């Protein structure tokens, strides 16, 4: 490793190997919350028979632990640790106030999705008596118990932070009041608002044999009431379903002209006017509740009509079984039991919330026009080289390969590439993968325009993009109407690769221009996700991308790929081969080094290979945003592995894998790849993913010496992942210069996307800055 870089990273290596003292287990409470963007059919499992469990006394004895499944961290618990890092950003005073509130909202939304998918799947396994063990040796029931304990603590911290933020918001003139805090003028206005805007859409429902308990949709909230009829004292239970559309928080007029912004929650307003809904009754008890349903989709692999299957499945999703029932702490016990029984949930699926339910809805308050309480708006740069060619993407790419670093550089470069292709009379064909995209997508519009112009357009639409299936079906039909050829890929494999290919006639030749990305073709998420877009006219890459498209459309295995690798065929083998090469270099006395950046590290084969590399002396630095099932920094197992996670203004989404090739890191001879694939079994074994080698010297330097190095140097928004799976915020050491990777990329142009080199933002300058 280069001496200057070694100095840069030395501080990190000294702080990772000591395991933190384990907390005493928290007493299980009835309050919980969880989430994630992941599917249960993708639970990584190793056996249905019980696996041997490591004795507690060797938990951090690497040599002994290597033989047991406990060498892995449980993926569900690791994800909860990631969501805790998200929650901790809600307490990060370096963020403006409403941005802190946004992080709280995101953590709550994450937890909801985690229950909808991961917890729902584990409960389904328990109900079906499936005893499949996770790769770390836990049964579904054991995982649910550990999840429950972790979530209880996390949910309590969410509510605690909300109470703190509510007080701080009050100081800034943003008030969430309840019925008791209304002024006379506000109460009068609110009654009028209720009668004109809310009352007409509510359906008060008495629950009896003639009026059965209604279906409550996923994430739907209701108010349960115990009523006493004034005429004869008869008691009955009743229900008011809250509207699923519309605002959760109603803004009140500023009658006092104080400049304050005052809100009241919808459910509190409805409670104020219950007598309007049930005249002649007195309320003896009441409380709000909320349901979360199983939102996973069962896919029949032999379905004859995949589109029709998914349309049916989407309807079934809305009626999935309840796997979490949240009830207000103020709800009387008998009313709580009534709601639980009618919702058909067991006692361990009922969660009493001491505070506000549905914290995800706080995103509405974040939308307030208070720029003083938000991040300063950031306008991404447009790649300078394309500007120098008067916006001609093809001319810029012909001159030299370009990599565009989102969101610091505009996604408009990708959109412009496809729009230019659609309108260029010399373009004869376009092929495009679509996994996720936006409503009114400019990408889809460009493909439709090209098809209508008579070009050969092939759109590879992935229907199984979780929670985006409905939109993808709509785009597929729009493209077919425009004349494009739409292919839905494999039934058993998700097509997750991010590929675009434009074939252009130039003279007597056909030149292929390719875009290979790490993120989706989604102009909205491209503003907040860090990703890479690689443009090239390299004929070798053009042939490889064409073969990958042929693989998905015609099932022809691309065994002859020249540079790229593709899962599930060769991608994992390529990564394992490079790890083996680094082991050989280390054993031969040459520097062995691996750098990696991804969203999740779960695959057992990859983790075990990294453990072997560590044992051989290979120096491994990983940036894993979310799930990390590898235990770093354990002597005899992983003492040469350091793992960090970056959580900040932008969502880290780039996948980069680099291998020193016997020269340490960083160096021009290292093998560097960008990819659509995370290091999970679902990506490596059950998806079509692309692995793209970076051989252009300028792009190679940008990815390795600038992007990866800046992320490794970050000490303002980074967390060290500890051996027990928990994480600890990185704090700059005394005398160490603070460095924020996001701020660096926002203020320093990239290498390949500009026309002329700027010394102030070169990797060497970055390394020297880190040394100071």
* pLDDT tens column, 37-93: 222 233 333 334 455 565 555 555 778 899 999 999 999 999 999 999 999 999 999
Provide the angle, in degrees to the nearest 10, between the axes of the packed helices 75-88 and 97-114.
160
pLDDT at residue 32 is higher than 70: no
pLDDT at residue 272 is higher than 70: yes
Q: Return mean pLDDT, the chain.
A: 87
pLDDT at residue 125 is higher than 70: yes
Whole-number pLDDT of residue 583: 98
Whole-number pLDDT of residue 314: 61
Sign of CA dihedral 638, 641, 646, 651: negative
Two tokens at 106?
A: 């995101």
pLDDT band at 738 (very low <50, low <70, confident <90, very high): very high
Give the range among 154-163, 438-447, 692-701, 753-762 with minimum mean pLDDT: 753-762
Whole-number pLDDT of residue 275: 92
pLDDT at residue 444 is higher than 80: yes
pLDDT band at 713 (very low <50, low <70, confident <90, very high): very high
The active-site residue, picked from 496, 585, 663, 742, is 496
Cis upstream peptide for 318 (omega within 30°):
no
Calpha distance 307→310 (Å, rounded): 5
pLDDT band at 504 (very low <50, low <70, confident <90, very high): very high
Calpha distance 769→772 (Å, rounded): 5
Whole-number pLDDT of residue 315: 63
Q: What angle do CA 518, 524, 529 make, to 5 degrees?
A: 40
Sign of CA dihedral 702, 705, 706, 707: positive
pLDDT at residue 567 is higher than 80: yes
Whole-number pLDDT of residue 49: 46
Residues counted in the chain? 772
Contact indicator for 414, 444 with CB cutoff of 8 Å: no
| 3-state SS class at 258 | coil
Contact indicator for 250, 168 with CB cutoff of 8 Å: no
Whole-number pLDDT of residue 43: 34
| 3-state SS class at 128 | coil
Residues 277-301: what's their mean pLDDT? 84
Whole-number pLDDT of residue 613: 98
pLDDT band at 28 (very low <50, low <70, confident <90, very high): very low
Two tokens at 516?
A: 């290979």
Whole-number pLDDT of residue 767: 59
Give the range among 546-560, 576-590, 694-708 with minimum mean pLDDT: 546-560
Please spell the DSSP secondary structure of 211-240, one letter per residue: BPPPPPPTT-EEEEEEEEETTT--EEEEEE
Residue predicted with more confidence, 584 or 554: 584
**What burial letters (b/e) apply to 175-187, b meaning 16+ CB within 10 Å?**
bbbeeeebeeebe
Whole-number pLDDT of residue 189: 96
Please give the span between the terminal C-alpha atoms of the chain, in angstroms, as a whole number.
19
Which backbone phi and psi does 226 adopt, to 5 degrees? -110, 115
Whole-number pLDDT of residue 22: 36
Whole-number pLDDT of residue 768: 63
pLDDT at residue 668 is higher than 60: yes
Calpha distance 204→280 (Å, rounded): 13
Contact indicator for 420, 394 with CB cutoff of 8 Å: yes
Calpha distance 205→342 (Å, rounded): 14
pLDDT at residue 304 is higher than 50: no
Residue recorded with tokens 């009743």: 238
Whole-number pLDDT of residue 59: 55
Residues 571-580: what's their mean pLDDT? 98
Whole-number pLDDT of residue 650: 96
Residue recorded with tokens 């996973």: 296
Instruction: Sort 519 into a burial class: Cβ within 10 Å, 0-12 / 13-18 / 19+.
Output: buried
Whole-number pLDDT of residue 753: 58
Residues 261-265: what's their mean pLDDT? 96
| pTM check: above 0.75 | yes
pLDDT at residue 663 is higher than 70: yes
pLDDT tens track for 342-361: 999 988 899 999 999 999 99
Helix (H) or strand (E) holding 291: strand 281-293
Residue predicted with more confidence, 312 or 501: 501
Residues 167-172: what's their mean pLDDT? 96
Does the annotation mark 496 as catalytic?
A: yes
Contact indicator for 690, 710 with CB cutoff of 8 Å: no
pLDDT at residue 5 is higher than 60: no
pLDDT band at 473 (very low <50, low <70, confident <90, very high): confident
Whole-number pLDDT of residue 88: 97
CB atoms within 10 A of CB 508: 5
Give the range among 154-158, 492-496, 664-668 with minimum mean pLDDT: 492-496
The percent helix, strand, coil of the chain (3-state, each to 5) is 40, 20, 40
Highest mean pLDDT (candidates 433-442, 459-468, 488-497, 614-623)? 614-623
Instruction: Sort 467 into a burial class: Cβ within 10 Å, 0-12 / 13-18 / 19+.
Output: middle
Give the range among 82-91, 144-153, 287-296, 638-647 with minimum mean pLDDT: 287-296
Helices and strands (H, E) in the chain, number of each type: 25, 29
Among the residues of 406-482, which ranges form H helices? 412-423, 442-452, 469-482
Whole-number pLDDT of residue 310: 59
Contact indicator for 149, 29 with CB cutoff of 8 Å: no
């Amino acid at each position: 490793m280069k001496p200057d870089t070694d100095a840069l990273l030395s501080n990190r290596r000294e702080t990772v190997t000591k395991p933190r003292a384990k907390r005493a287990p928290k007493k299980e409470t009835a309050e919980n919350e969880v989430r994630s963007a992941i599917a249960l059919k993708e639970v990584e499992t190793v056996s249905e028979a019980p696996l041997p469990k490591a004795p507690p006394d060797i938990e951090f004895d690497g040599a002994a632990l290597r033989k047991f499944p406990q060498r892995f961290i449980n993926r569900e618990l690791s994800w909860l640790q990631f969501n805790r890092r998200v929650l901790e950003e809600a307490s990060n005073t370096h963020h403006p106030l409403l941005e802190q509130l946004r992080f709280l909202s995101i953590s709550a939304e994450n937890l909801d999705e985690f229950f909808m998918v991961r917890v729902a799947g584990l409960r389904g396994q328990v109900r079906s008596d499936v005893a499949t063990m996770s790769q770390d040796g836990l049964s579904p029931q054991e995982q649910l118990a550990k999840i429950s304990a972790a979530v209880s603590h996390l949910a309590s911290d969410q509510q605690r932070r909300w109470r703190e933020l509510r007080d701080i918001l009050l100081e800034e003139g943003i008030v969430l009041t309840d019925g008791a805090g209304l002024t006379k003028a506000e109460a009068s206005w609110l009654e009028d608002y209720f009668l004109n805007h809310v009352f007409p859409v509510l359906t008060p429902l008495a629950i009896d044999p003639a009026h059965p308990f209604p279906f409550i949709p996923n994430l739907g909230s209701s108010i349960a009431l115990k009523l006493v009829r004034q005429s004869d004292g008869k008691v009955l239970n009743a229900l008011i379903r809250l509207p699923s559309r519309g605002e959760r928080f109603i803004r009140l007029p500023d009658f006092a002209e104080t400049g304050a912004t005052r809100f009241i929650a919808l459910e509190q307003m409805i409670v104020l006017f219950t007598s309007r809904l049930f005249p002649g009754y007195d309320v003896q008890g009441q409380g709000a509740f909320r349901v979360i349903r199983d939102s996973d989709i069962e896919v029949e692999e032999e379905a004859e009509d995949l589109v029709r299957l998914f349309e049916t499945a989407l309807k079934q999703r809305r009626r999935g079984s309840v796997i979490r029932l949240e009830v207000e702490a103020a709800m009387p016990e008998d009313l709580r039991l009534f709601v639980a029984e009618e919702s058909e949930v067991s006692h361990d699926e009922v969660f009493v919330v001491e505070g506000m339910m549905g914290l995800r809805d706080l995103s509405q308050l974040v939308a307030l026009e208070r720029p003083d309480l938000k991040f300063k708006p950031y306008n991404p740069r447009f790649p300078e080289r394309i500007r120098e060619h008067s916006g001609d993407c093809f001319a810029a790419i012909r001159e030299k390969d370009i990599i565009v670093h989102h969101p610091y550089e505009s996604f408009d470069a990708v959109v412009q590439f496809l729009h230019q292709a659609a309108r260029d009379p010399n373009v004869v064909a376009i092929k495009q993968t679509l996994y996720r995209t936006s409503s009114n997508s400019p990408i889809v519009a460009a493909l439709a325009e090209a098809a209508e112009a008579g070009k050969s357009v092939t759109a590879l639409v992935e229907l199984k993009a979780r929670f985006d299936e409905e939109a993808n079906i709509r785009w597929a039909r729009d493209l077919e109407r425009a004349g494009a050829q739409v292919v839905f890929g494999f039934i058993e494999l998700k097509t997750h690769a991010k590929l675009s290919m434009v074939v252009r006639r130039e003279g007597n030749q056909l030149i292929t221009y390719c875009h290979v990305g790490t993120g989706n073709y989604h102009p909205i998420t491209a503003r907040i996700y860090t990703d890479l877009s690689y443009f090239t006219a390299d004929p070798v890459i053009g042939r490889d991308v064409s073969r990958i498209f042929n693989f998905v459309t015609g099932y022809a295995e691309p065994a002859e790929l020249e540079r790229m690798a593709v899962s599930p065929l060769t991608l994992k083998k390529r990564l394992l081969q490079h790890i083996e090469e680094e082991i050989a270099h280390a054993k031969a006395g040459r520097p062995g080094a691996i750098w990696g950046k991804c969203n999740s590290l779960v695959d057992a084969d990859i983790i075990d290979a990294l453990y072997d590399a560590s044992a051989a002396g290979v120096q491994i630095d990983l940036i894993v945003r979310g799930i990390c099932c590898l235990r770093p920094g354990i002597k005899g197992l992983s003492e040469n592995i350091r793992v960090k996670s970056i959580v900040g203004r932008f969502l880290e989404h780039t996948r980069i894998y680099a291998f020193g090739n016997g020269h340490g890191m960083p160096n021009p001879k290292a093998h560097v790849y960008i990819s659509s694939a995370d290091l999970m079994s679902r990506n490596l074994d059950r998806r079509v993913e692309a692995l793209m080698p970076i051989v252009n010297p300028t792009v190679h330097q940008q990815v390795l010496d600038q992007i990866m190095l800046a992320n490794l140097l970050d000490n303002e928004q980074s967390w060290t992942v500890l051996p027990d799976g928990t994480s600890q915020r990185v704090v700059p050491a005394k005398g160490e210069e603070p460095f924020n990777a996001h701020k660096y990329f926002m203020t320093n142009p990239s290498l390949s996307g500009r026309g002329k080199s700027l010394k102030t933002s070169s990797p060497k300058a970055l390394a020297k800055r880190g040394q100071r």
